[in-house]
Amino acid sequence: MGSSPSDPGGWRERIASLRSNGTPEIALGGSVLLLLAADQFLQGRSEEKFRRDKAAVMTRLRHDVRIDLEREAAGGMDGAALAAVGGTGGGSDLAQIPALFRCRVVVVPRYFDGTKSLKGTVVGDILDVLEEGVGPGRAYNLCRRTTRGGGGGGGGRGEREGQGEEDGEEGSASLISVGWYPMTCLEKLNE
């Protein structure tokens, strides 16, 4: 009558009765539903994380754009020179930053017209280097081009070698522009 656990025929009857009443199909369907529910849960968590990350990236991007606009307002300065001015100072603050050294322009790049570029230079201009190794690949110097006041001197152009280099004229200097200039196009002056 009853089958013992060691009786192989008893297990076959149980399996046959389970097949006839649909238990394997119910178990399979329940497993699929459980997998779908787990997938939906994990996908919802993933989308939530994506939204948080996207919001963080957008916040950081807005912050970086604001910083770039402040730098542009400060004359295109970067790094330590920007910190020395205090962030968004005016042109008079740029004249107060001490120069690391002076350089002469030996080459004017043909297509050098970026937003942070020092424009309007000619071969022979003398530039004050405010910071070395800025920009892409750290291949640029942050330079200041000044002209000497008091008539003559530079004729409204940047200071040239041999024109107005005396230290006594420092009070009459007026700032023209500040920007990046390629290191390879400059020759360091020994002063």
The mean pLDDT value for 39-62 works out to: 90
Instruction: Pick 152 or 4 by higher pLDDT.
Output: 4
Looking at residue 152, its pLDDT comes to 41
Quote the pTM value: 0.44
Kindly report, residue by residue over 63-89, the tens digit of the pLDDT: 888 777 777 666 545 545 544 444 333
The mean pLDDT value for 151-156 works out to: 41
Q: What sign does the CA torsion over 116, 121, 124, 128 have?
A: negative
- 30 pLDDT tier (thresholds 50, 70, 90): very high
The mean pLDDT value for 123-132 works out to: 88
Strand partners, 186: 105
The mean pLDDT value for 48-70 works out to: 85
Q: How many CA atoms lie within 13 A of 111 on its CB side?
A: 0
Separation of alpha carbons 124 and 157, rounded Å: 11
Separation of alpha carbons 191 and 162, rounded Å: 12
DSSP string, the chain: -PPPTT-HHHHHHHHHHHHHTTHHHHHHHHHHHHHHHHHHHHHHHHHHHHHHHHHHHHHHHHHHHHHHHHHHHTTS--HHHHHHHTSS--HHHHHHSPPSEEEEE----TT---TTB--S--TTBEEEEEEEEESGGG-EEEEEEEEE-SSSTTTTS--BTTSS--GGGGGGEEEEEEEEEEGGGEEE---
Strand partners, 177: 145
Percent of the chain predicted with pLDDT > 90: 13
